[in-house]
C-alpha cells in the first residue's frame, strides 16, 4: 500500500498520516465500464444546446456563487423552492461538505456498508467517527431495525438508494423511521435515482422531515460526469448550512451553463435512461444464466441502478483478464468487506454489453474446465 513520504508524515495533521497518495495508475481500455458513467451519446440536440450555452458564457467574470439560474430550473422540475437546493462541484463536493458541517471530531456518521467508499473517506478527513450496521451478507438488505436503533445516537446517517455497489433501493418507510430516530441529519444519496422504478425517490418525504437531505447528480442519468455537477435538496435551513460552508466559486461558469442546458433538455434523456434500464435487465439475465451453471456457482444481484454486482469465482483474475485480453474495464470489489469475489459492471451500450457477455462467457467457461 502506498504511503506518504516520511517528511510529509511528520508534517500533515496526525489523523492524516496514513492517508494513501492518489494512485494515478489507470489503464485506458476500449470499453470502460468501471465508473458507473453513462456511456451513451447525449440525446439528439442536447450537445448542440450545451455547446451554444458554453459559447455564450463570458469567462472573465466570477460565477454566480449559488448557481441561482440552475437552482431555479432544478427547483421547478422537482417541485420545490430555490431555497431548498444547493449545487456543488459534483455530488462528491456535497458529500464532503455535509461531513464538514455535520461531522467532525467526537461526532459520528452511521452508514450501512457495503456502500460508496467516499462516505468513510470524507468522514475520516474531518475526523468523524464512523459507525455502521452492515447489510445482510447474502441478500445485502439493510438491517433496518438495527440502523434505526443506532441512528438515535448518530449526528449524520447516510443511506444510498439505489445503493452503490449492491444496486438495491432503500425502503422509504425505513428512511422515515431514520429521520424520526436521528437527532441529526439523514442523507439519502440518490445519485442513481433516475434509473430506479418510479415512486422510489425520497423527495416527497421532504415535506414531513426537516432533517432529510437528498443528494442527486448529473454524472449518471444526464451523462455529464465530466462537467462535475451535483445538488442536494433539503429544508431551507439545512441548505443555508451547505451554502455557508462551501467554497464560494466551486461551480464554475461553464459547469453552470452546461448543467442548465442539460436540465432544461431533461425530457430528451428519458429514452436513454429507459434503454439503460432494459439493457440492465438483459445483462442481468445473461450473466445470471452464465454464472448459475458453474461448478462453483456465481451470482448477479438485481439492480435499480445503471450497474450490476456479480459474484464470479476468481473475480480479481477475471477482471485482470477482461482488461488485458479484451480491453474491457470493470471494477473489482473483492477486497471490500462483504464483497469477496465481486465485480461491479456498469451497464453500457448494447454493443458494449454484448462484448462483456461474450468475454465473460469465454473466461468463465475456461476457468470452469
Under the rule (CB under 6 A), what is the footprint of ligand PMP?
36, 90-92, 116, 160, 164, 189, 191, 217, 219, 225, 230
Q: Which CB sits closer to ligand PMP, 91 or 298?
A: 91
Nearest to 51 by CA among 266, 254, 271, 268: 254
Q: Are 276 and 308 in contact (CB under 8 A)?
A: no
* Short-list 185, 257, 182, CA closest to 227: 257
Of 54 and 225, CB closest to ligand PMP: 225
What's the CA gap between 27 and 36, in Å, rounded? 17
**How far is 354 from 282, CA to CA, in rounded Å?**
10
Closer to ligand PMP by Cβ: residue 74 or 191: 191
22 by DSSP, 3-state: which?
A: coil
For residue 123, the minimal CB distance to ligand PMP (Å) is 14
DSSP letters for 141-156: ---HHHHHHHHTT-SE
Question: C-beta of 300: minimal distance to ligand PMP in Å?
Answer: 19
Could you give the 3-state DSSP secondary structure of residue 332?
A: strand
CB 39 within 8 A of CB 346: yes
Are residues 167 and 303 in contact, defined by beta-carbon separation less than 8 angstroms? yes
Give the integer Cα–Cα distance in Å for 79 and 75.
6
Measured from the CB atom, is 272 or 290 closer to ligand PMP?
A: 272
DSSP state of 196: S
Residue with cell 442481468: 284
- Tell me the residue ranges of DSSP E strands in the chain: 31-32, 85-88, 108-111, 129-132, 156-160, 185-189, 212-217, 230-234, 299-300, 307-311, 328-329, 331-332, 342-346
Give the nearer residue to ligand PMP in terms of CB position, either 4 or 225. 225
The nearest distance, CB 364 to ligand PMP, in angstroms, is 27
Q: Residue of minimal CB distance from ligand PMP?
A: 90
Residue 312 CB, shortest distance to ligand PMP, in Å, is: 21
* CA gap 254, 61 in Å, rounded: 11
Question: Closest approach of Cβ 226 to ligand PMP, in Å?
Answer: 9
Residue 172 or 294 having the CB closest to ligand PMP: 172
Q: Which three cell numbers, joined as nine digits, stand for 261? A: 442546458
Q: How far apart are CB 29 and ligand PMP at their closest, in Å?
A: 18
- Nearest distance in Å: CB 251, ligand PMP: 12
Q: How far is the CB of 124 from ligand PMP (least distance, A)?
A: 17
Length of the chain: 369
Residues 348 and 33: beta-carbon distance below 8 Å: yes
Rounded Cα–Cα distance for residues 11 and 8 (Å): 5
CB of 91 or CB of 223, closer to ligand PMP: 91
Q: Which CB, 147 or 363, lies closer to ligand PMP?
A: 147
Shortest Å distance, C-beta 93 to ligand PMP: 7
Amino acid at each position: 500500500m502506498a504511503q506518504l513520504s516520511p517528511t510529509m508524515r511528520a508534517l500533515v495533521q496526525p489523523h492524516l498520516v496514513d492517508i494513501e497518495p492518489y494512485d494515478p495508475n489507470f489503464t485506458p481500455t476500449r470499453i470502460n465500464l468501471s465508473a458507473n458513467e453513462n456511456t451513451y451519446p447525449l440525446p439528439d440536440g442536447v450537445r448542440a444546446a450545451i455547446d451554444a450555452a458554453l459559447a455564450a458564457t463570458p469567462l472573465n467574470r466570477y460565477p454566480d456563487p449559488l448557481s441561482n439560474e440552475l437552482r431555479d430550473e432544478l427547483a421547478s422540475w422537482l417541485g420545490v423552492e430555490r431555497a431548498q437546493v444547493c449545487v456543488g462541484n459534483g455530488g462528491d463536493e456535497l458529500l464532503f461538505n455535509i461531513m464538514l458541517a455535520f461531522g467532525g471530531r467526537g461526532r459520528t456518521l452511521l452508514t450501512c456498508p457495503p456502500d460508496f467508499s467516499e462516505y468513510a473517506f470524507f468522514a475520516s478527513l474531518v475526523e468523524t467517527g464512523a459507525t455502521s450496521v452492515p447489510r445482510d451478507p447474502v441478500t445485502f438488505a439493510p438491517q433496518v431495525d438495527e440502523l434505526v436503533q443506532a441512528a438515535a445516537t448518530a449526528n449524520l446517517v447516510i443511506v444510498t438508494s439505489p445503493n452503490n455497489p449492491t444496486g438495491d433501493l432503500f425502503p422509504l418507510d425505513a428512511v422515515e423511521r431514520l429521520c424520526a430516530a436521528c437527532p441529526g441529519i439523514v442523507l439519502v444519496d440518490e445519485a442513481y435515482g433516475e434509473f430506479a422504478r418510479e415512486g422510489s425517490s425520497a423527495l416527497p418525504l421532504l415535506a414531513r422531515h426537516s432533517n432529510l437531505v437528498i443528494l442527486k447528480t448529473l454524472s449518471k442519468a444526464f451523462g455529464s460526469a465530466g462537467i462535475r455537477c451535483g445538488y442536494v435538496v433539503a429544508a431551507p435551513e439545512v441548505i443555508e448550512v451547505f451554502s455557508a460552508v462551501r467554497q464560494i466559486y466551486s461551480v464554475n461558469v461553464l459547469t453552470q451553463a452546461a448543467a442548465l442546458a442539460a436540465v432544461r433538455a431533461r425530457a430528451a434523456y428519458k429514452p436513454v435512461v429507459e434503454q439503460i434500464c432494459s439493457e440492465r435487465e438483459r445483462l442481468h439475465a445473461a450473466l445470471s444464466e452464465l454464472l448459475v451453471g458453474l461448478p462453483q456457482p456465481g451470482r448477479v444481484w438485481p439492480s435499480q441502478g445503471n450497474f450490476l454486482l456479480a459474484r464470479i469465482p476468481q473475480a480479481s483474475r477475471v477482471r485482470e483478464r477482461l482488461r488485458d485480453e479484451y480491453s474491457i474495464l470493470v471494477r473489482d470489489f473483492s477486497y471490500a468487506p462483504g464483497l469477496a469475489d465481486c465485480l461491479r459492471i456498469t451497464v453500457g451500450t448494447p454493443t458494449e454489453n454484448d462484448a462483456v457477455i461474450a468475454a465473460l462467457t469465454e473466461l468463465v467457461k475456461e476457468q470452469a474446465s
